[in-house]
Every structure is written in C-alpha cells, then in structure tokens.
Amino acid sequence: MQRDDLIRVASCVYEVPQSFRADMLAPARVYADEELLGAMLQGEAMHQLLNVATLPGVTQCVYGMPDMHEGYGFPVGGVAATRMPHGVVSPGGVGFDINCGVRLLTTPLPRKELGDLTPLVHELSRSIPAGAGKEGPLELAPAELDGVLEQGSPYLVREKGLGLPQDLDHTESGGCLPAANPGQVSERAKLRGHGQLGTMGSGNHFVEVQLVEKLYDAPAAASMGLEEGRLTVLIHTGSRGLGHQVCTDYVRLMDSRLLTYGITLPDRQLSCAPADSPEGRAYLSAMAAAANFAWCNRQLITDRVRRVLTRLFPSLRPEEVRLVYDVAHNIAKLEEHGGERVCVHRKGATRAFGPGHPELPPTYRETGQPVFIPGSMGTGSYVMAGMGTSEQRSWGSACHGAGRSLSRTAAKKQVTGAQLRRELEAGGIVVRCPSNQGLAEEAPFAYKDVERVAEVVECAGLARRVARLRPLGVIKG
C-alpha cells in the first residue's frame, strides 16, 4: 500500500475508501500526521486494518489509532465495531492478553521531599512478582478463582478486602463484565492462570513510579487528583496465562467453524463467529471472565502498591493512594453508539468516552473518561480525557500507547541492557528488571514519539491532554 492510496479527509485523518478492495465492507480511517502515517505504511499494519474491514457485520468504518503498528490478524491500535446480534465477534480482535490495560494511582507525596527513591522502587519490585512464572501473592481455591472470573474486582474488594470501594467506581465497567461464565473457560486456562493473580508478567508490562511534571488542563487534572510535583504509580498488565489460553482456545474453535458459517477471511487469525452463535456466545462469556481476571490482577497489584507506600511513608493513609482510573486496551464490548447496538473490538486501543457519557462515574461526568498513553520507560506518559467527538470518530476510542517502531531484535542490536540501565539511572530513573535482554527490548528508542502521538489524538478530537508524567522508577518483568 502506498501513501497515494489514502485520502486526507481532515487534519490528522486519512481514509482508504471501501472501494479500494472488493472484499472490504467498510472504509478504513487512520488518525496520524504525515510522519506517523509513514510509519504505519511500513510493514503490514495498513493491510491488516483493511483485512479487519472484511469482517461480517462490520459497520460504518474501521479505525487505526495514531500508535497503530503491525500485529497479527488485527493491527495493534485497531478498532472495529460489528452490528449486533448477528455480526461477528473475533478473538483475534481482542488479542491473547485479554483486558491488558493500564491503571494510574495518585499519591499526595511530594517528590522534592522524598529524596532517593531506590528503596521505594526496590520494595515495589519485591512485592509485585514481575516474571512470567507463577509466584502470585494470593493462593486461590478453585471456587475462589471462579469468584474472580465471575465477579471481577468487586469480588476482591468486597469478599477479600483487597482494595477500597471507591476503586470500583474508577475502574472501567466497575471491574466486572457481567456476561462472564467460568464454565466457558477451559481447565487449561484456569491452570495457566492459577498462581498468577497479582503478577505483572514480562514483555512490555511494567509498574512505573512517576512524577506529575506538567498540567495542561488544571480543572480536569484536579478532578483526577493530579497535582504537579506529586508521585503517581502506573500499572500495566493483563490477564496473564489465563487470558492467553482463552484466546488460543477460541481462535482454534472459531477457525474450525468458519465453513459452517460461510465466512471467508483474508487472515485466519481473524477467525470469528456470529456473536449470537453458540461459539460467539461462549467466547464472549469466556472473554468476560478473562477480563474480570485481568481487573483483579491490577486490583491485587494496587493493594500491594498501597501496602508498600503506607509502610514506607507511615503518615500516608491507604485511601490517599487514589485510583484515578483503570482502562482496558484489549477487549470486545457490547455498546450503544448512535442508537445502534454494536460489539466494539479494541485491540491495543483504549475506550475514551467524552463528558456526559452515562457509563462514566460522577467524578468524570464533566471531565470525560481518563485515558492513559504510556510512552516509554525513558520518556514520559500522558494523562488525557476522552472527548465527546470520539463517539462519532472512533467508536469512543483513543490510542493505548506510543506504539513500537523498532523490533525487539533491532532494539537489542542498538543497546545492551546493561548500557540502557546505566543511561536510565544517569537520567535519575531507578530500574528494577531481572533481565538485561528484556530491558533492552523495551528501550525508549524502540517506541514512537509519545508527544507526537498525544498531539494527533488531540488534533483528531479523540481525547485532550490533561497532564504529563515523567518516569522516576521502572519495574519490569
């Protein structure tokens, strides 16, 4: 695909018309500037977005967020909606890490009074198992795991006392998708997830201690409890092995049923089934259970963060470590848009509802939903607020990060983990990562410029900047 195949329809908006390919059922739009667009045109990302536009029941338009890059099946940063009840649901449109997401905690701790943050970062890394194995802090009996899968965060907060009631108001969907059915989750998935609750995992997952560096919108920042110079903690993880196995199971199942439903796809990883078919309903129930597991995972990590902070800073009360919001960025959700019931697939994309949306808690009714755009461990992250225009422009979505621009192999060719560790520490960032290789793979230069990405998100009317956060401590798996 060439640059000339896209039509510039507005500032930061480019479109590939439906007529571009005979099998497309909707046009494709991407939000980018010329430089980000150039990056999208390298590799398969655009081609993959056009493939998404062939899914049965896809409606209006499919969207590529400013951080879009090549994935498998769906591109990372792809958003598509299918008409309910007969349009399809695609496990590949959610991804293996179901409800991978981000949550931000604020504290009243002023950076300038804290001195060396090494003990804090060290204690956090000890309390939050980072590796890919199963070292979770909570042993769950089978019935308790079912409680997690069926009830999500409310189960941990209300039944186990692991969190505060106000955490639930500030979690997307209250931390629970009610369609969850643990019976649709395979035993293998449960075995993979057993012992992983409260663990971060590896890859690009992290817990980051940050400083609120700059406010762009003071009233919105105030509604989120963000004050310049204060410490925050950003948590990025998902549903671990349990979610990975749910996706594996249902991609395989739906791939075997494509002929039954007369579905032809340009990429088998887009395998799907009508949402109202037995396979579609089963997947939506299993996906919801895995999403609930992921919310519980981030909730349990939140509890660990609170314990560490209140131990190291005894004057701090648990309720002062406030959850700003928790958003999913790999999920399929049944939503109403313009009076139409649709299944919105967000693969590497964040929900970004604007002010007044009935699903937002009272705290954010005027501000819009908090949206987090982590950059990289060496640069910074943005807190944004969803805009009402996102409803018409992206099914109420925005991007989920800066997006990779370099492969892991290429990153490792440019820097060693030890070098990078020294560079970050010289820049005042405390690093805890057991693997030098894993650290090098996530080098800041392997990601796109988060400033540019945030500018495009705002220019496109998806979300507006509220605050910029600067990393002070990074814990990686």
Q: Are 51 and 80 in contact (CB under 8 A)?
A: no
- Shortest CB 447 distance to other proteins, Å: 11
Cβ closer to other proteins: 26 or 265? Answer: 265
In the complex, the smallest distance separating the C-beta of residue 372 from other proteins, rounded to whole angstroms, is 19
Distance of CA 136 to the CA centre of its chain: 21
Phi, psi angles (nearest 5°) of residue 337: -135, 120
CA distances from 134 to 192, 206, 389 (A): 9, 16, 42
* CA-atom Rg of the chain in angstroms: 21
Pick 267 or 451: Cβ nearer other proteins:
267
From CA 103, how far away is CA 208, in angstroms rounded?
A: 11
Active site residue 205: no
Residue 179 found at the interface with other proteins (CB under 8 A): no
How many of the other CB atoms lie within 10 Å of CB of 141?
9
Instruction: Give me the least distance between CB of 406 and other proteins, in Å please.
Output: 7
How would DSSP label each residue in 288-323?
HHHHHHHHHHHHHHHHHHHHHHHHHSTT--GGGSEE
Shortest Å distance, C-beta 423 to other proteins: 22
Q: What's the length of the chain?
A: 477
Tokens 């449109």 belong to residue: 93
Site string for other proteins, 6-45 (x = CB under 8 A): -------------------------------------x--
For other proteins, the binding residue among 143, 358, 409, 426 (CB under 8 A) is 409
CA distance 267 to 54: 10
Pick the stretch among 104-112, 222-230, 244-252, 309-317 that binds other proteins (CB under 8 A).
Answer: 244-252
Q: Quick count: other Cβ atoms within 10 Å of Cβ 366?
A: 13
The catalytic residue among 69, 244, 329, 400 is 400
Stretch that binds other proteins, among 13-21, 30-38, 186-194, 388-396 (CB under 8 A): 186-194
Q: Which stretch binds other proteins (CB under 8 A): 82-90, 281-289, 390-398, 431-439?
A: 431-439
CA–CA separation, 238 and 296 (whole Å): 9
Least distance CB 95 / other proteins (angstroms): 7
Question: Which residue bears the tokens 């509890």?
Answer: 303
- Residue 157 is encoded by which pair of tokens? 């907060």
Binder among 114, 334, 406, 459 for other proteins (CB under 8 A): 406
Residue 395 sits at φ, ψ, to 5 deg, of: 55, 35
Considering only residues 129 through 158, tell me which ones interact with other proteins, judged by CB under 8 A.
Answer: 131-134
Residue 449 lies near other proteins (rule: CB under 8 A):
no
Binding window for other proteins (CB under 8 A); candidates: 80-88, 201-209, 277-285, 379-387: 201-209
Sign of the torsion angle spanned by Cα atoms 35, 37, 39, 41: negative
Does 266 participate in binding other proteins (rule CB under 8 A)? Answer: no
What residues from 271 to 330 belong to the interface with other proteins (CB under 8 A)? 271
Q: How many helices (H) and strands (E) does the chain have?
A: 16, 19
Give the shortest CB-246-to-other proteins separation in angstroms: 10
Give the C-alpha separation, 197 to 297, whole Å.
5
Residue numbers 75-134 binding other proteins by CB under 8 A: 76, 95-97, 131-134
CA angle 220, 225, 231 (to 5 degrees): 125
Q: Which is nearer to other proteins, 97 or 335 (CB)?
A: 97
Which residue of 7, 9, 10, 191 would you call a contact of other proteins, by CB under 8 A?
A: 191
- Candidate ranges 12-20, 101-109, 218-226, 267-275; the one touching other proteins (CB under 8 A): 267-275
Residue from 21, 230, 365, 408 in contact with other proteins (CB under 8 A): 408
CB of 202 to other proteins, least distance (A): 4
- Burial of 85 from C-beta contacts in 10 A (0-12 / 13-18 / 19+): middle
Applying CB under 8 A, which of residues 166, 419, 435, 436 lies at the interface with other proteins?
435
Phi and psi, residue 189, nearest 5°: -65, -40
Cα angle 32-34-39, degrees, rounded to a multiple of 5: 75
List the one residue from 24, 247, 430, 460 that touches other proteins (CB under 8 A): 247
**Pairing relationship of beta strands 13-16 and 28-31 according to DSSP bridges:** antiparallel
Residue of 73, 154, 175, 280 interacting with other proteins (CB under 8 A): 73
> Which residue numbers are catalytic?
400
Residues that bind other proteins (CB under 8 A): 43, 69-73, 76, 95-97, 131-134, 188, 191-192, 201-203, 241, 244-245, 247-248, 251-252, 255-256, 267-269, 271, 404-410, 434-435, 438, 477
